[in-house]
Homo-oligomer: A and B are copies of this chain.
Amino acid sequence: MSYAESIVALADPTRRQLFELLAAHPGPVGALAEHLPVSRPAVSQHLKVLSEAGLVTVRAEGTRRIYAVRREGLAELRAWIDGFWDDVLAGFEAEVLARKGNDT
C-alpha cells in the first residue's frame, strides 16, 4: 500500500523473481512455484507480502487463485524514486549555489 512496503517486498530475491514471472504473465500459485526454487507454501507467503504491498492482485477462478501484477503499485514506487531523484538534484543545486556564494 505504501512505497516502503513495496521496496521491502522487492528487496527479497525470490520475491523479485516471482514478481518478474507475474510481469510476464499472470498465473495460479502452483504454476508459479514450478518456476521458483522454493516450495508452494513459500510462494503463497511471498504472494501475501506482495499483495499487502499493493504490487499484485488476486482473482479467484474455481479453486485456483490467479495472481497478476498491479501496475498502480509499481507506479507508486516509481513516483517515490522520482521524488527522491528531484530531492537529490535540488540538494546538489543548493550545494553548487552555496559554493558559489562562499567561493570556497
Contacts and interface: CB of A to CB of B under 8 A. Distances in A.
Interface in A83-99: 84-85, 87-89, 91-92, 94-95
B69 A26 contact: no
Interface in A44-97: 69, 71, 74-75, 77-78, 81-82, 84-85, 87-89, 91-92, 94-95
Q: Is the interface of A mostly helix, strand, loop or mixed?
A: helix
Given A8-B11, A13-B4, A71 B92 contact: yes
A38 interface: no
Interface of A: 4, 7-8, 10-11, 13, 16, 20, 23-26, 69, 71, 74-75, 77-78, 81-82, 84-85, 87-89, 91-92, 94-95
